[in-house]
Amino acid sequence: SSKIELDEKGSKTFDFTMPSLNYSAFLYVQAGVLSPQNQQLFARKGVSVLPADIFIGVKSGDNMTEAGKPFTADIVAVNAEGKLRAGAILQGNLKRREYVSVRKTGVAGRLEWVSEAKTEDISSFTITASDGKAQWGFTPEKAGSYILTLKAQDEQGRVNYTNFYFYVTEGDAYWKQTD
């Protein structure tokens, strides 16, 4: 919030430095003006701010599979206009998460669940989306929730990423417990 003087046409331009963002955001600028007759006028303008000119999409027919069975996902890399980014290089990382849950005595002797997430790195890899599209496959050995993270850089070196979650079932799967 600050006070500025308007020019003879009743306008003012200004510059400001945008913070570096690693996520998409919608930013607003709002201004209020007090006329010589003490009438207040307000205006608001919003603008989308994108972290980079590359976006990654991941889609699978299902977000669940069984241990020992192949899981595949389709990947696309596009620019801000939605056009495919041929030759996009994506850095991938896959993690597996399971929960260790115990019942502990809480207030007034009441039992309550306490869960702790255990996350392990499964693999890191590179995918080249030669025509802006690619397919990724993985055969999980254990049950748990899996997080696929894909990162890419645009021509200015700005990074964007996406996370995709899928679940693997088997006899011993440990999910977060809640009361």
Q: What is the pLDDT along the chain (179 residues), one digit of tens a residue?
A: 567 777 888 788 878 787 777 777 888 888 888 877 888 888 898 888 888 899 999 999 999 999 999 999 999 999 989 999 999 999 999 999 988 888 899 888 899 988 889 999 999 999 999 999 999 999 999 999 999 999 999 999 989 999 999 999 987 555 666 66
| Calpha distance 122→136 (Å, rounded) | 14
Which residues, listed in sequence order, are joined to residue 40 by a DSSP beta bridge? 34
| Calpha distance 68→141 (Å, rounded) | 5
pTM of the model: 0.74
Triad 98, 100, 102: Cα angle to 5°: 155
Burial 24-55 (b: 16+ CB within 10 A, else e): eeeeeeeeeeeeeeeeeeeeeeeeeebbbbbb
Q: Is 10 exposed, middle or buried (0-12, 13-18, 19+ CB in 10 A)?
A: exposed
Burial 137-154 (b: 16+ CB within 10 A, else e): ebebeebbbbbbbbbbbb
